[in-house]
Amino acid sequence: MKDKVAVTVYSAAWCAYCHMAMEYLKSKGVDYKAVDVDKDPSAAQKIYAKTGQAGVPVVEIGDETILGFDRMRIDGALRANNLVS
């Protein structure tokens, strides 16, 4: 059986787009792990090293990293990873 694809949202409490991205995933019935980069500086360093960007949200779906709240890319990655139909 295939392992469940991990979905992680790197966010900050003050970030409106972060909240929108998490609400969007909830509305799709997608489980995700939320990581607050203000409370976890090592996570902030990780996404900066990976993307070269310091902004949030960063949504990781499987092997795909999506900068910002980009619904089309999020939907595409969710479908590609069989998390939605």
- What's the chain look like in SS3? CCCCCCEEEEECCCCHHHHHHHHHHHHCCCCCEEEECCCCHHHHHHHHHHHCCCCCCEEEECCEEEECCCHHHHHHHHHHCCCCC
Taking residues 15-36, what's their average pLDDT?
Answer: 97
Cα(28)–Cα(56) distance, rounded to whole angstroms? 20
Q: Structural domains in the chain?
A: 7-80 (3.40.30.10)
pLDDT band with cut points at 50, 70 and 90 for residue 4: confident
How much is the pLDDT for 85?
Answer: 82
Taking residues 16-27, what's their average pLDDT?
Answer: 98
Q: Model's pTM, two decimal places? A: 0.92
pLDDT tens digits, residue range 51-72?
Answer: 999 899 999 999 999 999 999 9
